[in-house]
Amino acid sequence: MPIELKVPEVGESITEVQIGTWKKREGEGVAIDDSIVEIESDKATVELPAPAAGTVTKILKASGEKARVGEVIGYLEPAGSAAAAAPPAAPPAAPPAAPGGQPVVDVKRTGSRVDIGSVQMSAGDALRVMPAAARVLGEAGVAASAATGTGPGGRVTKDDALGAVAAARAPVPVSKLAPAAAPPARLPGAREERAVLISPIRRRIAERLVEAQQQAALLTTFNEVDMSAVMALRNKFKDVFLQRYGVKLGFMSFFVRAAVEALRAVPQVNAEFRDPHIVYRDYADIGIAVGGGKGLVVPVLRNAETLSFAQIELGIADFAKRAADNKLKLEELQGGTFTISNGGVYGSMMSTPIINPPQSGILGLHAITDRPVAIDGQVVIRPMMYLALTYDHRLVDGREAVTFLKKIKDTIEDPTRLILEV
């Protein structure tokens, strides 16, 4: 008995989804737990696994179509079921043979027309065309009038029919072809357009960004940080760190730890405007913006204040891998209190990031570039990075925003502060 493939629950308040890519086609076999189809919601993309080994027999919803949670979108025939394929159609019976060995051609008269096999001709043509010739002409779709009879009484023989078929299939000389119309003049450059259906995640990203712009009082403040100390510390211990924990020591763990210290110092940035209250938090759930297969997603490091450098790096690496495969869980994308976005990995020099509501702040990191800076009265070249903090001015005043960003700068430029928590 076929198994119904139904849209699974993908999260609270989500009742409708969009069918993504079908990983298996009709008639294709699957093993148990094989991914059959992607289910896209406005929060995440999940995969529907095969509940049993068998064969996908029917797909009811194509990619891009909407479906409701619990709706049947296909059927799976379990392996070893009694379903049998329809017996193959019997081949057409060969026409009976005449006593002389010549096939008998079915002749039907309709008015002044005569059907001989699969070729239709006038009654006069039917009398002069031999049955074997009629069969050749009918199979090739060539009119009997195209053949010149060379048999007794001008009858069309099989050889005459073969010659007519060959002549009909011969290429027409170029000299006899009508002159082709000149192609329309092409404008320089490609002018093609492609319409791609908006994914639920991309639609939700757009809605959230517009919501943030319309409902929050956004303001961005900037600073710059000398990355020399962090780069020296990273280069000194990166090999040992990799050997011990199995993950590379990156810059993001330093900034997560620095953000935790800054959020402790300036709790307004870690708060939420929940009218008529402001909700302050004594924990830090920090979202890390990563590029996923369906767009930018922000999985959350829970209780980042309790995590070590290795735990942070392992968590981020796991998020990045599963985001690329669209395998992040819905609950991993919800509930962050602060976000860090690293546009520097793409070469961004400076930007004004938009907060992820209802959060009150987002830290933007940018590319590290060697720039001349004045230190102790001397101009030196240092690896510098611009920092940007976008915040909700309803909760965070300019003084708190600048203090927060200055705390990040001081901690990164002297990472021993992370050990002493000062």
On average, the pLDDT of the chain sits at 83
β-sheet with 29-30: strand ranges across = 3-6, 72-78, 54-59, 29-30
205: CB partners within 8 A, 6+ apart: 295, 296
Window from 117-131, 297-311, 384-398, 403-417 with minimum mean pLDDT = 117-131
Q: What percent of the chain has pLDDT over 70?
A: 81
3-class DSSP state of 205 = helix
Look up tokens 């927060």; give the residue: 404
What CATH number should be reported for the domain holding residue 292? 3.30.559.10
| Residues labelled catalytic | 393, 397
Same structural domain for residues 254 and 121? Answer: no
**pLDDT tens-digit map of 339-393:** 999 999 889 999 999 998 899 999 999 999 999 999 999 999 999 999 999 999 9
Same structural domain for residues 356 and 413? Answer: yes
Same structural domain for residues 147 and 264? Answer: no
Number of separate helices (H) and strands (E) present in the chain = 9, 22
320 found inside a domain:
yes
Counting Cα atoms < 13 Å in the Cβ hemisphere of 42 gives 11
182 found inside a domain:
no
Q: Which of 238, 237, 262, 234 is nearest to 387 (CA)?
A: 262
3-class DSSP state of 220 = strand
In terms of residue numbers, what domain contains 124? 107-168
Q: What is the pLDDT of residue 397?
A: 95
185 found inside a domain:
no
Q: Which of 8, 78, 75 is nearest to 47 (CA)?
A: 8
Contact 400, 262 (CB under 8 A): no
Same structural domain for residues 129 and 70? Answer: no
Q: Which of 341, 367, 361, 357 is nearest to 405 (CA)?
A: 361
- Distance, in Å, from the CA atom of 390 to the CA atom of 223, rounded to the nearest integer, reads 12
- Distance, in Å, from the CA atom of 392 to the CA atom of 361, rounded to the nearest integer, reads 6
pTM for the full predicted model: 0.63
Same structural domain for residues 74 and 112? Answer: no
Q: What is the pLDDT of residue 327?
A: 82
> What's the domain count of the chain?
3
**pLDDT tens-digit map of 160-198:** 878 877 777 666 555 555 555 666 666 677 778 888 878
> Tokens in use for 301?
């490091």
- Distance, in Å, from the CA atom of 279 to the CA atom of 270, rounded to the nearest integer, reads 9
Q: Which of 372, 409, 354, 416 is nearest to 387 (CA)?
A: 409
- Distance, in Å, from the CA atom of 364 to the CA atom of 352, rounded to the nearest integer, reads 7
> Tokens in use for 103?
């096939």
